[in-house]
Amino acid sequence: MASSNETGPSDGPSEKSSAEFGVSSNARSSRTSAPNGTVAVVPEQKMRYTRNTTGCLTCRIRKVRCDETKPDCVRCTSTGRKCDGYPPPQVRVSKKRSSKSPGSSSPSSPLALLWSVEECRGFAYFQTRTATALSGRFLSPFWNSLVLQAAHNEPAVLQALITVAQFHERLEIGGVDGIGQFEGLQQAAVRNYSKALSMARELQSVANPDATLIACVLFVCIELMQNNYNGAYMHAKHGLRILEQLQARQPFSSSSPASDARKLLVQMFRNILNQAFFIYELFGRGRRDLLTPLVDTPPTDFMTLDQAHEALQRIGLLIQRSRRIGGGAGSHDVHCALLRQWQASTARLIAGLPSAEAKRAATILQLQAMALSTMNDAFLNGDAAFEAATPTFEAIVAGAAELLESEDRTQRPSQEVNLSFEAGLIGPLYYTAMKCRALRVRLHALLVLGLAPRQEGIWSASMAAGIATRFVKVEMEELGGELLGDVSSGGWVSQGGLTMAVGAPRAYERAIRMKIGRKCDGGMMREEVITW
C-alpha cells in the first residue's frame, strides 16, 4: 500500500506557488486509497486562476500581480516601466464594445457596456492625473466628481474625457519618451475627439442638458490644449446658449433649488467668462456676446476658500455686465463696495487658513481682485485710472513674484506642464504689462510673466508675454525711444490713442497676428506676426 502522504508527479504548481499566483488549491491532482486497497487516482482538474481585477493596466497586460500602489505601482516603477494607471471600478475590460447605440442616453449606465483597454486607461489617467491638474489650487467637484460620474452614464462624455486625458499625456510627454509614443497619443486623441463630437451631436440637449454642458466644457479644454482659441470660443458660446435657454425656462440663482450638477456647471461657465474678461482685447469687442444672465449678487462673507473664489467670480461678472451696458458712477460705487467687502472677508479667512498652499491660493485671488478693481475704475475714468493705479500694479507684480519664488523653494502643486483650467497669475500680470503707465513696472511684469505657469485656463503664459512685450516695445518706439531707454515725463508713458487688434491663433500654431495703429491716423493699422 502506498503511503498516505505519497504523491505522484504533477504538472500543477506547488501549494506555495499556487497561492502566490492566485491558483485555487483544489486544482491539483491527488491520490486516495480505495476500499480494495488500491490507489485511486482522482482526475486532475483544470487549474483555475483568480484574476486580479484591481491592479494597474500594465501589470494586467503583463499578467503579473500588481502591488496596487497609487498613482503608480511600485512593480512597474521599480523595473523602469511606465505604469498606465488603474481602470475604473466595476468596469470590465474588453476590446469589443456593446452593439448599443453610442449616442443613446438610456437610464441604464454604461457600466454595463464593455470598455476597451484604451478607454479604461484614459479614464484612469484622467482620474489620477488630469483632474488634479485641471483643478489647480482649488477643490473642484466638477473635475473630480461630476465629470467622472457623467462619463459612466454618457458615452459622449466618456470619449471627450479620454481625449482630454490623451492630450494631457501628450503635453506631459513632450516627445521625451520617444516620438512614436508622442505621435501615437496625438493620433488617438484626434480620433477620439472626432468620435466624441459625433456622439455629442446626437445628444438631445433638452432631454439631457447637463451631459451636453459637461461635454462643452471638455471640448473647450481640448481646443485650448491645441491653441485653438476660435474652437474653444465656439464651444463655450454653444454651452452658454444652452444655459441661457435653461435660465429662460427656470431662472437660476445661488439660492434656487437647482441640482448640484447645474450649480457646478454654472460655476464652471462663470470661470470661463471671467477668464475671457481679461482677454477680451485679444479677440475684439464683438465677442462680448459671451456675457449671459449668470450674474447674481455675491455673498459679503464666506467661510471657505472655495466660497471666496466663487464670490470673486460673481463680482467679476457684475463688473463685466456694467462695462457692456454702461452702468456709470452708480454701478462703479457698488462694485467698489463689493470688492472692499470681499477683501475684508478674505483677509479674515487667510488668518485662519491651515496650510501655506491654501494661503498662496488666497493670495492669487487677492491679486485678481486688485486687477478687477483697476478695471472697474478704468471703465469710469478711462486711461487716467491707469496712472493712478501704479501702486496697485506694483503690488500685483510684487505679490506674484513673491508667490512664484516661494513655490520654487518648495514644490509647485501643478503638474509638470503647469496645466490648469483655473485662472491664476497670468491674467493680472498681462493686464499690468498692457495697462500700467510706469515702464519699470511693466518690464517687471513681463519678467515675472515669464516665470508664471505655462497654461492657466484660456491663458498661455508665452502667448500673453509675447503680445505684451511687443505692445510695450511699439509704445516706446512711438514715443521716439527704445524699449529700455529713458521715457519722458519721469518714467511715464501714454498710449496716446494707440490701439491693438489681435487675431486668435490657429490650432497647433505658435504664432498670432496683431494689428497696431493710432486712431488719429484715420484707422490705418499695420499688421505684425508674433511668435512664441
**Cβ atoms < 10 Å from Cβ of 164:** 29
Take residue 342 and report the three cell numbers written for it.
470681499
Phi, psi of 49 (to 5 degrees): -100, 135
Lowest average pLDDT, out of 92-101, 115-124, 149-158, goes to 92-101
Domain coordinates of the chain in residue numbers?
Answer: 1-50, 87-293, 403-421+446-532
Q: How far apart are the first and last CA of the chain?
A: 88
Which of 416, 304, 390, 385 is CA-nearest to residue 349?
304
For residue 191, the Cα-to-chain-centroid distance in whole angstroms is 21
**In which element (H, E) is residue 42 found?**
strand 39-42
Q: What DSSP assignment string belongs to 476-525? A: HHHTTS-TTS--HHHHB---TTEEEEEPPPPTT--EEEEEEEEGGGTT-E
Instruction: Tell me the pLDDT of the chain averaged across its residues.
Output: 72
CA-based R_g, the chain, Å = 29
Question: How many percent of the chain have pLDDT more than 70?
Answer: 63
Lowest average pLDDT, out of 119-128, 260-269, 433-442, goes to 260-269
| Average pLDDT value for residue range 203-216 | 79
383 within 8 A of 495, measured Cβ to Cβ:
yes
Name every residue whose Cβ is closer than 8 Å to that of residue 385 and which is 6 or more positions away in sequence.
374, 377, 378
Predicted confidence at residue 340, as pLDDT, reads 93
- Cell numbers 494631457 label which residue? 168
Q: Using one digit for the tens of pLDDT, what is the confidence trace for 405-462?
A: 887 655 544 434 456 777 788 889 999 998 998 889 999 999 999 888 777 877 778 8
Model confidence at 365, pLDDT cuts 50, 70, 90, reads very high
- Preceding amide of 71 cis, omega within 30: yes
**Cβ atoms < 10 Å from Cβ of 516:** 18
Q: Which residues pair with 420 in a beta bridge?
A: 456
